[in-house]
Amino acid sequence: MKTQTEEMRSEEAERKTNEREQVKKLLAEYKRKVNKEMEKHEKEMDKDEKLKEVLREIEEAQAKHPGEKRKAAKSITEINEKHWDELYQGDIVLSVEQAQYLLDTVTNGAERREKRGTDQNGKKETFPILKWPLLTIPFSFHSIIPDRLRQEIHFAIQLWNRNTCLSMVEHCPSSSGIQFINVSGKGCKSWVGSKSGANHQQQIYLEYPGCYQSGIIAHEIGHALGLTHEHQRYDRDTFVWYIPDNVKLEEIGNFDKLATERNEDHKMPYDLGSVMHYGAKVCFKNVMCENDGFQKPKSCTECICPPGYAGNLCENVDTDGYAPAGVTNTCKGAILIATSDWQDLHGEIGSDSLDSSTDHAYCHWQILAEIGQVISIQVLAIGDACEDACESGNTEICTEANKGISGLRLCCPSDLGSTGQLEIAAPYGYAMISLYSFYKVQRFHLRFMQHED
Protein backbone atom coordinates (compact mmCIF):
# COMPACT_ATOMS: atom_id res chain seq x y z
CA MET A 1 0.00 0.00 0.00
CA LYS A 2 1.28 3.46 -0.88
CA THR A 3 1.23 6.18 1.73
CA GLN A 4 -0.60 9.43 1.04
CA THR A 5 2.74 11.17 0.52
CA GLU A 6 3.86 8.52 -1.99
CA GLU A 7 0.55 8.83 -3.84
CA MET A 8 0.98 12.60 -4.08
CA ARG A 9 4.54 12.24 -5.36
CA SER A 10 3.43 9.69 -7.94
CA GLU A 11 0.63 11.95 -9.16
CA GLU A 12 3.00 14.93 -9.36
CA ALA A 13 5.55 12.91 -11.35
CA GLU A 14 2.82 11.75 -13.74
CA ARG A 15 1.56 15.32 -14.15
CA LYS A 16 5.07 16.58 -14.99
CA THR A 17 5.60 13.76 -17.51
CA ASN A 18 2.30 14.50 -19.23
CA GLU A 19 3.08 18.23 -19.34
CA ARG A 20 6.55 17.57 -20.80
CA GLU A 21 5.11 15.33 -23.52
CA GLN A 22 2.45 17.93 -24.34
CA VAL A 23 5.11 20.65 -24.68
CA LYS A 24 7.21 18.39 -26.94
CA LYS A 25 4.25 17.83 -29.28
CA LEU A 26 3.44 21.54 -29.44
CA LEU A 27 7.10 22.43 -30.05
CA ALA A 28 7.44 19.82 -32.79
CA GLU A 29 4.48 21.29 -34.66
CA TYR A 30 5.73 24.84 -34.07
CA LYS A 31 9.23 24.04 -35.37
CA ARG A 32 7.80 22.27 -38.42
CA LYS A 33 5.79 25.36 -39.34
CA VAL A 34 8.40 27.96 -38.44
CA ASN A 35 11.01 26.16 -40.56
CA LYS A 36 8.85 26.91 -43.61
CA GLU A 37 8.77 30.59 -42.61
CA MET A 38 12.55 30.59 -42.22
CA GLU A 39 12.99 29.07 -45.70
CA LYS A 40 11.49 32.28 -47.14
CA HIS A 41 14.04 34.28 -45.16
CA GLU A 42 16.81 32.01 -46.49
CA LYS A 43 15.87 32.86 -50.09
CA GLU A 44 16.05 36.58 -49.24
CA MET A 45 19.50 36.11 -47.71
CA ASP A 46 20.70 34.41 -50.92
CA LYS A 47 20.07 37.74 -52.70
CA ASP A 48 21.97 39.84 -50.14
CA GLU A 49 25.04 41.06 -52.07
CA LYS A 50 26.48 42.91 -49.07
CA LEU A 51 26.47 39.69 -47.02
CA LYS A 52 28.16 37.80 -49.86
CA GLU A 53 30.86 40.47 -50.03
CA VAL A 54 31.49 40.30 -46.27
CA LEU A 55 31.71 36.48 -46.34
CA ARG A 56 34.20 36.65 -49.24
CA GLU A 57 36.36 39.10 -47.28
CA ILE A 58 36.32 36.81 -44.23
CA GLU A 59 37.35 33.79 -46.32
CA GLU A 60 40.19 35.75 -47.95
CA ALA A 61 41.45 36.98 -44.58
CA GLN A 62 41.40 33.50 -43.03
CA ALA A 63 43.15 32.03 -46.09
CA LYS A 64 46.12 34.32 -45.37
CA HIS A 65 46.45 32.82 -41.86
CA PRO A 66 46.31 29.05 -42.49
CA GLY A 67 48.01 28.25 -39.17
CA GLU A 68 45.62 30.35 -37.10
CA LYS A 69 43.90 28.25 -34.42
CA ARG A 70 40.78 29.57 -32.76
CA LYS A 71 39.66 28.13 -29.46
CA ALA A 72 36.00 27.20 -29.78
CA ALA A 73 34.10 26.17 -26.67
CA LYS A 74 30.82 24.35 -27.26
CA SER A 75 27.81 26.62 -27.55
CA ILE A 76 24.76 26.12 -25.33
CA THR A 77 22.79 24.70 -28.26
CA GLU A 78 25.57 22.20 -29.00
CA ILE A 79 25.66 21.10 -25.35
CA ASN A 80 21.88 20.70 -25.41
CA GLU A 81 21.71 18.94 -28.78
CA LYS A 82 20.19 15.76 -27.28
CA HIS A 83 17.31 17.80 -25.86
CA TRP A 84 16.29 19.92 -28.87
CA ASP A 85 12.91 18.20 -29.06
CA GLU A 86 11.89 19.59 -25.67
CA LEU A 87 13.65 22.98 -25.70
CA TYR A 88 12.83 26.30 -27.35
CA GLN A 89 15.74 28.19 -28.95
CA GLY A 90 18.22 25.66 -27.64
CA ASP A 91 18.01 26.18 -23.87
CA ILE A 92 14.53 27.36 -22.82
CA VAL A 93 12.07 25.06 -21.03
CA LEU A 94 8.50 26.10 -21.85
CA SER A 95 5.22 25.78 -20.05
CA VAL A 96 2.26 24.36 -21.99
CA GLU A 97 0.81 27.88 -22.22
CA GLN A 98 4.03 29.31 -23.71
CA ALA A 99 4.38 26.46 -26.22
CA GLN A 100 0.74 26.87 -27.27
CA TYR A 101 1.29 30.63 -27.68
CA LEU A 102 4.21 30.07 -30.06
CA LEU A 103 2.25 27.57 -32.14
CA ASP A 104 -0.71 29.95 -32.32
CA THR A 105 1.44 32.83 -33.59
CA VAL A 106 2.90 30.83 -36.46
CA THR A 107 -0.39 29.04 -37.24
CA ASN A 108 -2.52 32.18 -37.40
CA GLY A 109 -0.21 33.90 -39.89
CA ALA A 110 1.13 37.44 -40.03
CA GLU A 111 -2.23 39.14 -40.67
CA ARG A 112 -3.89 37.34 -37.79
CA ARG A 113 -0.94 38.11 -35.51
CA GLU A 114 -1.28 41.81 -36.27
CA LYS A 115 -4.93 41.71 -35.24
CA ARG A 116 -4.04 39.90 -32.04
CA GLY A 117 -1.23 42.27 -31.13
CA THR A 118 -3.40 43.59 -28.27
CA ASP A 119 -5.89 41.90 -26.00
CA GLN A 120 -9.56 42.83 -25.59
CA ASN A 121 -8.59 45.65 -23.21
CA GLY A 122 -6.14 47.16 -25.71
CA LYS A 123 -3.10 46.00 -23.71
CA LYS A 124 -0.04 44.82 -25.63
CA GLU A 125 -0.12 41.02 -25.91
CA THR A 126 3.41 39.65 -25.48
CA PHE A 127 5.03 36.26 -24.95
CA PRO A 128 3.47 34.93 -21.69
CA ILE A 129 6.03 35.28 -18.89
CA LEU A 130 5.11 35.22 -15.19
CA LYS A 131 6.98 37.63 -12.94
CA TRP A 132 8.46 36.65 -9.60
CA PRO A 133 6.19 37.91 -6.79
CA LEU A 134 9.02 39.62 -4.86
CA LEU A 135 12.24 41.47 -5.73
CA THR A 136 14.11 39.10 -3.40
CA ILE A 137 14.43 35.66 -4.97
CA PRO A 138 15.81 32.79 -2.86
CA PHE A 139 18.21 30.31 -4.42
CA SER A 140 19.72 27.05 -3.25
CA PHE A 141 22.10 24.34 -4.43
CA HIS A 142 21.33 20.69 -5.01
CA SER A 143 23.47 18.48 -2.78
CA ILE A 144 25.57 17.22 -5.72
CA ILE A 145 26.76 20.68 -6.85
CA PRO A 146 30.61 20.67 -6.68
CA ASP A 147 32.56 23.56 -5.15
CA ARG A 148 33.93 24.84 -8.46
CA LEU A 149 30.44 25.17 -9.92
CA ARG A 150 29.21 26.91 -6.75
CA GLN A 151 31.96 29.51 -7.19
CA GLU A 152 30.95 30.18 -10.80
CA ILE A 153 27.25 30.40 -9.82
CA HIS A 154 27.99 32.90 -7.03
CA PHE A 155 29.95 35.05 -9.49
CA ALA A 156 27.11 34.99 -12.04
CA ILE A 157 24.54 35.84 -9.36
CA GLN A 158 26.57 38.85 -8.26
CA LEU A 159 26.45 40.18 -11.83
CA TRP A 160 22.66 40.27 -11.57
CA ASN A 161 22.54 41.50 -7.96
CA ARG A 162 24.91 44.40 -8.67
CA ASN A 163 23.25 45.55 -11.86
CA THR A 164 19.51 45.08 -11.32
CA CYS A 165 16.89 45.86 -8.69
CA LEU A 166 16.59 42.15 -7.87
CA SER A 167 18.29 40.42 -4.96
CA MET A 168 19.07 36.73 -5.20
CA VAL A 169 19.71 35.44 -1.68
CA GLU A 170 20.92 31.97 -0.75
CA HIS A 171 18.45 30.00 1.39
CA CYS A 172 19.36 26.48 2.37
CA PRO A 173 17.29 24.39 2.51
CA SER A 174 14.59 26.13 0.51
CA SER A 175 11.28 25.02 -0.97
CA SER A 176 10.93 28.12 -3.15
CA GLY A 177 12.94 30.18 -5.61
CA ILE A 178 15.66 28.83 -7.91
CA GLN A 179 17.55 25.60 -7.34
CA PHE A 180 20.81 25.03 -9.21
CA ILE A 181 21.27 21.38 -10.09
CA ASN A 182 24.08 19.48 -11.81
CA VAL A 183 22.77 16.36 -13.56
CA SER A 184 24.82 14.57 -16.20
CA GLY A 185 23.13 14.62 -19.58
CA LYS A 186 20.59 17.33 -18.72
CA GLY A 187 22.41 20.18 -20.47
CA CYS A 188 22.20 23.92 -19.64
CA LYS A 189 18.58 25.03 -19.47
CA SER A 190 16.00 27.07 -17.58
CA TRP A 191 12.38 28.17 -17.63
CA VAL A 192 11.58 31.74 -18.68
CA GLY A 193 10.34 33.68 -15.68
CA SER A 194 8.56 32.20 -12.71
CA LYS A 195 6.82 28.88 -13.42
CA SER A 196 3.75 29.73 -11.35
CA GLY A 197 4.14 33.35 -10.24
CA ALA A 198 3.90 32.24 -6.60
CA ASN A 199 6.18 30.65 -4.03
CA HIS A 200 7.57 27.48 -5.58
CA GLN A 201 10.91 25.97 -6.56
CA GLN A 202 12.18 25.63 -10.10
CA GLN A 203 15.49 24.35 -11.43
CA ILE A 204 18.33 25.71 -13.52
CA TYR A 205 20.18 22.71 -14.97
CA LEU A 206 23.96 23.03 -15.39
CA GLU A 207 25.64 19.97 -16.85
CA TYR A 208 29.33 19.27 -16.21
CA PRO A 209 31.63 20.30 -17.84
CA GLY A 210 30.01 22.33 -20.61
CA CYS A 211 27.89 24.63 -18.44
CA TYR A 212 30.62 25.55 -15.95
CA GLN A 213 31.20 29.03 -17.41
CA SER A 214 29.93 32.05 -15.50
CA GLY A 215 28.69 33.59 -18.77
CA ILE A 216 26.48 30.57 -19.52
CA ILE A 217 25.23 30.54 -15.92
CA ALA A 218 24.41 34.27 -16.02
CA HIS A 219 22.56 33.63 -19.29
CA GLU A 220 20.42 30.87 -17.76
CA ILE A 221 19.72 33.02 -14.69
CA GLY A 222 18.52 35.74 -17.08
CA HIS A 223 15.99 33.30 -18.51
CA ALA A 224 14.80 32.36 -15.01
CA LEU A 225 14.33 36.07 -14.24
CA GLY A 226 12.06 36.37 -17.29
CA LEU A 227 14.31 37.43 -20.19
CA THR A 228 14.33 35.92 -23.67
CA HIS A 229 17.20 35.88 -26.16
CA GLU A 230 18.57 39.10 -27.64
CA HIS A 231 18.56 37.60 -31.14
CA GLN A 232 14.81 36.99 -30.77
CA ARG A 233 14.12 40.72 -30.97
CA TYR A 234 11.98 42.00 -33.82
CA ASP A 235 14.80 44.37 -34.94
CA ARG A 236 17.48 41.66 -35.01
CA ASP A 237 18.10 41.80 -38.77
CA THR A 238 19.05 45.48 -38.58
CA PHE A 239 22.13 44.58 -36.52
CA VAL A 240 23.22 41.04 -37.40
CA TRP A 241 23.09 38.64 -40.32
CA TYR A 242 21.53 35.22 -39.91
CA ILE A 243 23.28 32.76 -42.25
CA PRO A 244 21.07 29.68 -42.84
CA ASP A 245 23.88 27.69 -44.50
CA ASN A 246 25.72 27.59 -41.15
CA VAL A 247 22.74 26.16 -39.26
CA LYS A 248 21.60 22.56 -38.99
CA LEU A 249 18.12 22.02 -40.42
CA GLU A 250 16.69 20.91 -37.08
CA GLU A 251 18.15 24.01 -35.39
CA ILE A 252 16.67 26.63 -37.75
CA GLY A 253 13.78 27.27 -35.35
CA ASN A 254 16.29 28.61 -32.82
CA PHE A 255 16.64 31.74 -34.97
CA ASP A 256 13.04 32.85 -35.27
CA LYS A 257 11.98 36.31 -34.11
CA LEU A 258 9.07 37.51 -32.01
CA ALA A 259 6.70 39.77 -33.96
CA THR A 260 7.10 43.52 -33.40
CA GLU A 261 3.90 43.92 -31.44
CA ARG A 262 4.70 40.92 -29.21
CA ASN A 263 8.31 41.70 -28.35
CA GLU A 264 9.10 43.32 -24.98
CA ASP A 265 12.42 45.11 -25.55
CA HIS A 266 12.32 47.12 -22.29
CA LYS A 267 12.96 50.24 -24.42
CA MET A 268 16.62 49.25 -24.68
CA PRO A 269 18.70 49.39 -27.88
CA TYR A 270 19.87 46.13 -29.41
CA ASP A 271 23.10 45.17 -27.61
CA LEU A 272 25.50 42.87 -29.41
CA GLY A 273 27.61 42.37 -26.28
CA SER A 274 25.01 41.88 -23.55
CA VAL A 275 24.23 38.53 -21.94
CA MET A 276 20.65 39.76 -21.36
CA HIS A 277 18.79 43.04 -20.92
CA TYR A 278 19.13 44.95 -17.65
CA GLY A 279 16.19 45.54 -15.32
CA ALA A 280 13.88 48.56 -15.21
CA LYS A 281 14.51 51.74 -13.22
CA VAL A 282 13.01 51.80 -9.74
CA CYS A 283 13.48 55.36 -8.45
CA PHE A 284 10.79 58.00 -8.84
CA LYS A 285 13.39 60.63 -9.70
CA ASN A 286 15.92 59.56 -12.29
CA VAL A 287 19.58 60.41 -11.75
CA MET A 288 21.15 62.12 -14.79
CA CYS A 289 23.84 59.70 -15.93
CA GLU A 290 26.50 60.90 -18.36
CA ASN A 291 28.08 59.13 -21.33
CA ASP A 292 25.03 56.87 -21.84
CA GLY A 293 25.26 55.23 -18.46
CA PHE A 294 22.01 54.22 -16.79
CA GLN A 295 20.68 54.48 -13.26
CA LYS A 296 21.72 51.84 -10.76
CA PRO A 297 18.48 50.07 -9.83
CA LYS A 298 19.42 49.94 -6.15
CA SER A 299 20.62 53.54 -5.88
CA CYS A 300 19.04 56.86 -6.85
CA THR A 301 22.43 58.62 -6.83
CA GLU A 302 24.66 56.25 -8.83
CA CYS A 303 24.92 55.01 -12.39
CA ILE A 304 26.08 51.84 -14.11
CA CYS A 305 28.65 52.97 -16.65
CA PRO A 306 29.58 51.78 -20.15
CA PRO A 307 33.06 50.22 -20.43
CA GLY A 308 35.75 52.86 -20.09
CA TYR A 309 33.80 55.22 -17.83
CA ALA A 310 33.74 55.64 -14.06
CA GLY A 311 32.35 57.88 -11.32
CA ASN A 312 28.93 58.03 -9.69
CA LEU A 313 27.50 59.67 -12.83
CA CYS A 314 29.92 58.07 -15.37
CA GLU A 315 31.50 61.50 -15.68
CA ASN A 316 35.13 60.24 -15.71
CA VAL A 317 37.19 58.13 -18.10
CA ASP A 318 38.55 55.00 -16.37
CA THR A 319 42.25 55.23 -17.22
CA ASP A 320 43.52 53.26 -14.19
CA GLY A 321 43.17 49.78 -15.66
CA TYR A 322 42.92 46.60 -13.60
CA ALA A 323 44.57 43.20 -13.38
CA PRO A 324 43.84 40.23 -11.06
CA ALA A 325 46.36 39.32 -8.38
CA GLY A 326 49.45 37.64 -9.79
CA VAL A 327 49.18 39.22 -13.24
CA THR A 328 52.47 40.96 -13.85
CA ASN A 329 51.69 42.65 -17.16
CA THR A 330 49.39 45.59 -16.40
CA CYS A 331 48.75 48.80 -18.31
CA LYS A 332 47.48 52.32 -17.82
CA GLY A 333 44.94 53.91 -20.11
CA ALA A 334 44.85 57.53 -21.21
CA ILE A 335 42.78 60.29 -22.80
CA LEU A 336 44.34 60.98 -26.20
CA ILE A 337 43.81 63.96 -28.49
CA ALA A 338 43.84 63.23 -32.21
CA THR A 339 45.76 65.55 -34.56
CA SER A 340 46.20 65.74 -38.33
CA ASP A 341 49.26 63.46 -38.01
CA TRP A 342 49.14 59.71 -37.40
CA GLN A 343 49.79 58.70 -33.78
CA ASP A 344 50.63 55.12 -32.77
CA LEU A 345 48.99 53.36 -29.83
CA HIS A 346 50.18 50.03 -28.41
CA GLY A 347 48.31 48.06 -25.75
CA GLU A 348 49.25 44.87 -23.91
CA ILE A 349 47.75 43.26 -20.81
CA GLY A 350 47.61 39.89 -19.04
CA SER A 351 50.24 37.20 -18.48
CA ASP A 352 50.91 33.60 -19.48
CA SER A 353 49.55 32.50 -16.09
CA LEU A 354 46.19 34.28 -16.48
CA ASP A 355 43.35 31.77 -16.95
CA SER A 356 40.09 32.82 -15.32
CA SER A 357 36.42 32.79 -16.24
CA THR A 358 35.46 34.97 -13.28
CA ASP A 359 38.04 37.78 -13.34
CA HIS A 360 39.90 39.61 -16.06
CA ALA A 361 42.43 42.32 -16.80
CA TYR A 362 41.41 45.45 -18.68
CA CYS A 363 42.57 48.86 -19.82
CA HIS A 364 40.84 51.76 -21.65
CA TRP A 365 41.96 54.61 -23.92
CA GLN A 366 39.67 57.41 -25.07
CA ILE A 367 40.50 59.21 -28.33
CA LEU A 368 38.95 62.64 -28.96
CA ALA A 369 38.96 64.90 -32.02
CA GLU A 370 38.37 68.63 -32.34
CA ILE A 371 34.78 69.79 -32.90
CA GLY A 372 33.76 69.17 -36.51
CA GLN A 373 36.51 66.60 -37.09
CA VAL A 374 36.22 62.82 -37.51
CA ILE A 375 38.73 60.15 -36.49
CA SER A 376 40.33 57.52 -38.72
CA ILE A 377 41.76 54.41 -37.05
CA GLN A 378 44.02 51.81 -38.63
CA VAL A 379 44.39 48.55 -36.67
CA LEU A 380 47.78 47.09 -37.60
CA ALA A 381 48.18 44.07 -35.29
CA ILE A 382 46.02 41.94 -32.96
CA GLY A 383 46.80 39.01 -30.61
CA ASP A 384 47.30 36.69 -28.83
CA ALA A 385 44.40 34.58 -27.47
CA CYS A 386 42.53 33.81 -30.68
CA GLU A 387 39.07 32.36 -30.11
CA ASP A 388 35.63 32.26 -31.70
CA ALA A 389 33.53 35.16 -30.35
CA CYS A 390 36.71 36.47 -28.63
CA GLU A 391 35.51 35.09 -25.28
CA SER A 392 39.03 34.83 -23.79
CA GLY A 393 39.75 38.48 -24.41
CA ASN A 394 39.74 41.09 -27.13
CA THR A 395 40.40 44.61 -28.29
CA GLU A 396 37.06 46.43 -28.45
CA ILE A 397 36.68 49.63 -30.47
CA CYS A 398 33.56 51.70 -29.75
CA THR A 399 32.75 54.59 -32.09
CA GLU A 400 28.94 54.88 -31.90
CA ALA A 401 27.15 58.02 -30.71
CA ASN A 402 25.51 55.88 -28.01
CA LYS A 403 28.49 54.95 -25.84
CA GLY A 404 26.56 52.13 -24.19
CA ILE A 405 26.45 50.03 -27.37
CA SER A 406 29.11 47.33 -27.68
CA GLY A 407 31.81 47.95 -30.25
CA LEU A 408 33.81 45.90 -32.74
CA ARG A 409 35.77 43.11 -31.00
CA LEU A 410 39.02 41.77 -32.43
CA CYS A 411 41.24 38.94 -31.15
CA CYS A 412 42.65 37.04 -34.16
CA PRO A 413 45.05 38.23 -36.88
CA SER A 414 42.54 37.28 -39.59
CA ASP A 415 40.03 39.69 -38.01
CA LEU A 416 42.02 42.44 -39.74
CA GLY A 417 40.98 41.20 -43.18
CA SER A 418 42.95 40.06 -46.20
CA THR A 419 45.18 43.17 -46.18
CA GLY A 420 46.21 42.67 -42.54
CA GLN A 421 45.12 46.22 -41.80
CA LEU A 422 41.63 47.22 -40.68
CA GLU A 423 40.29 50.72 -41.38
CA ILE A 424 37.71 52.09 -38.91
CA ALA A 425 35.94 55.44 -39.02
CA ALA A 426 34.79 57.27 -35.89
CA PRO A 427 32.28 59.77 -37.36
CA TYR A 428 31.35 61.38 -34.04
CA GLY A 429 34.88 62.52 -33.17
CA TYR A 430 35.15 59.99 -30.36
CA ALA A 431 36.49 56.44 -29.90
CA MET A 432 36.95 54.20 -26.86
CA ILE A 433 39.63 51.52 -27.19
CA SER A 434 39.27 48.77 -24.56
CA LEU A 435 41.65 45.86 -24.06
CA TYR A 436 40.44 42.79 -22.13
CA SER A 437 42.05 39.48 -21.16
CA PHE A 438 40.60 36.49 -19.32
CA TYR A 439 43.24 34.17 -20.73
CA LYS A 440 46.96 34.80 -21.16
CA VAL A 441 48.06 37.96 -23.02
CA GLN A 442 46.09 40.28 -25.29
CA ARG A 443 47.74 43.03 -27.31
CA PHE A 444 47.13 45.44 -30.17
CA HIS A 445 48.86 48.04 -32.31
CA LEU A 446 46.87 50.78 -34.02
CA ARG A 447 47.27 54.35 -35.18
CA PHE A 448 44.82 57.23 -35.39
CA MET A 449 44.41 60.76 -36.77
CA GLN A 450 41.68 63.38 -37.23
CA HIS A 451 40.48 65.05 -40.43
CA GLU A 452 37.49 66.82 -41.88
CA ASP A 453 34.53 64.68 -42.83
Phi and psi for 120 in degrees, rounded to 5?
Answer: -65, -20
Q: Does the annotation list 65 as a binding residue?
A: no
Query: Quick one: which H or E segment has residue 93?
Result: strand 92-93
Q: Choose among 420, 418, 413, 419: nearest CA to 390.
A: 413
Question: Residue 322 carries which side chain, given as an amino acid letter?
Answer: Y
Q: DSSP label at 249? A: G
Q: Does the annotation list 277 as a binding residue?
A: no
Render 416-445 in DSSP notation, one character per residue. GTTTT-EEEEETTSEEEEEEEESEEEEEEE
- Coil, helix or strand at residue 101: helix
Burial 182-214 (b: 16+ CB within 10 A, else e): beeebbbbbbbbbeeeeeeebbbbbbeebbbbb
- Coil, helix or strand at residue 35: helix
Residue 190 has, within 13 A of its CA and on its CB side, a CA count of 28
- How far CA 226 is from CA of 30, 75, 221, 304, 399, in Å, comes to 21, 21, 9, 21, 31
**Cβ partners under 8 Å of residue 172, min gap 6:** 140, 141
Render 347-375 in DSSP notation, one character per residue. EEEEEEEEE-SS--EEEEEEEE--TTEEE
State the catalytic residue, choosing from 152, 220, 387, 396. Answer: 220
Q: Does the annotation list 219 as a binding residue?
A: yes
* Strands of the 177-181 sheet, one edge to the other: 92-93, 188-191, 201-206, 177-181, 136-141, 167-170
Phi-psi sector, 418: left (phi>0), alpha (psi -120 to 50), beta: alpha
Using alpha carbons only, what angle is made at residue 223 by residues 218 and 229, rounded to the nearest 5 degrees? 95
Residue 220 bears catalytic tag: yes
Annotated binding site: 219, 223, 229
Active site residues: 220
Binding residues for Zn(2+) are 219, 223, 229
